Structure 1
Amino acid sequence: MDEEDHERDAAAEAFEGVRGELALLRRAIEGIAARDDRPEPPDYGETLGQITKLANATLQRAEFMRKAIEEEAVARQVANRITGAVAEDRQAVKTAAGELRDATRALQGVAASARRGDEQNRWLVRATIGGIVVGMIVWVVFAGIVARSVPTGWQWPERMAARTLGMPMWEGGQRMMRTAAPDAFANIAAGDRIVTDNRKELEVCRKQALRAGEKVRCPIRIGPK
């Protein structure tokens, strides 16, 4: 831009110089005609008119050339500005394309992270289920060993069995005896009924046996069932 401004200023100064020289020439010719003191000075009107016409034509051409150069300089400036704007637009497009690529990569990274997150969640669920299954197996295998290793008064095996059946310990024990040996359980139940029905008689007989120091006969009653 500085070089173009310098060229335009130099051209303008040159044309101004031409204009000044022509104006000086016109004044000189007019002065010569005015100083001619002959009684009948020759008529320079036609000559001066031609010179003036030529001078005006020269001035017009000089003015036209000056304007043309100025217009050319302006055209250069406009072209340079357009070129600069195009370059800026290209740079903006390039920058936008880069940002779009970066955004695409970011979205791809997010999608990949989401996929990895889903895979990790699936592995976590599988690991959790596997841990639960392994824990159940370990509990089944080692629970009895652990329960039998503690003191008997803690009743861990009995409590574990009742809790497994979801019943009180007494009822759970009856169910296990009935399931394991039905006949033996029936005999136990029958003996319990006899003792319950003849509790007083059995107590009297027990005292007699203690005094006698030997077995005694005890009359008892047995129902039809």
Structure 2
Amino acid sequence: MADEAAQAFEDLRGEVSLIRRAVERLTAERAEPSDAPDYSETLGVISQNVLAAAQRIDAVVNSPALLLTPEELNRQVIEAAYNARREDHRLFLAAQQGFETVARQLTLQLHSHTEADKQRRRLRHVGLASLAAGVLLWAILAGPLVRAMPSSWLWPELMAARTLRMPMWQSGQRLMRAASPTAFAGILSSNRLIIANRDTLDACRKKAARAKKAVRCEIQVMAEE
């Protein structure tokens, strides 16, 4: 194949050489005196074009590709295809490794999030269990612990007042009313009677203190509305 192409270009180069010599001959003949029109300038341009074409043909004929045998050309084509496939295979392996790396990272992150959720649930369960145990222990031990303290500290009374969210006086009244409504009503009635006869009762106390014995006192009882 290479020999046939080279022969064809060689024949073409010979024909171009013949044309060039013919043009040069015509140019020389036109250089002699004559009455015919002067085509020397036109023939010069044609000659230059023919020379340029001949040079390009020489470059093509001397091209390394035309010097290759069919077997060598086939070998180079196969080698180029192999190199291209090898590069594609390398790029494919690199992309596959990248995908595998991303997949491993996503798996690790998912596993980490799952473990974190499990730990949060365990901590929440432990916290709730600890709170329940603390409440139970306080309910069991609060009474004995408070009663074991000195009575002057008033811990039971303070705990009752804080539980009812009231001052100690009002919380005491509420406890008495809840314990015995009738007795609490009697206490209120007696308190009103004492307040209404405060001066009389004070005088009777002084009289009893001087006599050193019980004395009679007259008090006023207001009618109930």
TM range (shorter): 0.5 to 0.7
Q: CA deviation at 1:178?
A: 0.8
Q: CA deviation at 1:75?
A: 4.6
Q: What is the aligned partner in structure 1 of residue 98 from structure 2?
A: 99
Deviations 1:14-69 (A, max 9, x none): xxxxxxxxxxxxxxxxxxxxxxxxxxxxxxxxxxxxxxxxxxxxxxxxx9xx9454
- Which 5+ residue runs of structure 1 have no aligned equivalent? 1-62
Q: What is the aligned partner in structure 1 of residue 190 from structure 2?
A: 191
Q: What is the aligned partner in structure 2 of residue 117 from structure 1?
A: 116
Please say which of residues 124-133 and 159-168 is displaced more in the overlay. Answer: 124-133
Q: 3-state SS of the aligned residue for 2:223?
A: coil
Distance 1:127 1:222 in 2: 65
- Which 5+ residue runs of structure 2 have no aligned equivalent? 1-61
**2:120 equivalent to 1:140:** no
Distance 1:85 1:147 in 2: 90
Distance 2:134 2:92 in 1: 61
RMSD, aligned α-carbons = 2.3
Distance 2:214 2:77 in 1: 138
Q: CA deviation at 1:195?
A: 1.2
Q: 3-state SS of the aligned residue for 1:160?
A: helix
Q: CA deviation at 1:72?
A: 4.5
Distance 1:74 1:211 in 2: 149
Paired letter, 1:79: I
Q: 3-state SS of the aligned residue for 2:94?
A: helix
Q: What is the aligned partner in structure 1 of residue 180 from structure 2?
A: 181
Q: CA deviation at 1:191?
A: 1.3
Paired letter, 2:140: V
Q: CA deviation at 1:135?
A: 1.8
Q: CA deviation at 1:203?
A: 1.0
Q: CA deviation at 1:77?
A: 3.8
Q: 3-state SS of the aligned residue for 1:214?
A: coil
TM alignment of 1:65-80, pairs within 5 A: 67-69=66-68, 72-73=71-72, 75-80=74-79
Under a length normalisation based on structure 1, what TM-score does the superposition of the two structures give?
A: 0.64
Distance 2:214 2:112 in 1: 88
Q: 3-state SS of the aligned residue for 2:217?
A: coil
Q: What is the aligned partner in structure 2 of residue 126 from structure 1?
A: 125
Q: 3-state SS of the aligned residue for 1:222?
A: coil
Deviations 1:139-165 (A, max 9, x none): 222222222222222211111111111
Q: What is the aligned partner in structure 1 of residue 170 from structure 2?
A: 171
Q: 3-state SS of the aligned residue for 2:158?
A: helix
Under a length normalisation based on structure 2, what TM-score does the superposition of the two structures give?
A: 0.64
Q: What is the aligned partner in structure 2 of residue 43 from structure 1?
A: none
Paired letter, 2:151: T
TM alignment of 1:204-215, pairs within 5 A: 204-215=203-214
Q: CA deviation at 1:128?
A: 2.0
Distance 1:163 1:70 in 2: 110
Distance 1:76 1:152 in 2: 111
